[in-house]
Amino acid sequence: MRNKVYEFLRTIPEGKVVTYGQIAEYLGNKKLSRAVGRILHNNPDESRYHCYKVVDRNGRLSKAFAFGGIEGQKERLEKEGIIVENYRVSLEKHGYNITFSK
């Protein structure tokens, strides 16, 4: 499961974010959001697997972001041109819309 999460991170285009739930859905079970969070927190290579592009279902950043906390996540997102207001990203504007085939 861990490898699939990291593979998914590599598909997110620049300037876009995804939610924990989207990754869980990619894994085949929407209820795996918390497990996805734990996997991301143990990311072995942040430069290769851009876990900073993952936000909660409301677009909020993670207070427990493993690479510099919420400020580190905010900084990385803004470097990609993603607008962060009050530690939240507009999913309407910056969300990566993915269609999953069943």
Catalytic positions, written as ranges: 51
* Contacts within 8 Å (CB) and 24+ apart, 78-82: 80/14, 80/15, 81/14, 81/15, 82/15, 82/16, 82/17
What is the spatial distance between Cα 61 and Cα 58, in angstroms, rounded to a whole number?
Answer: 9
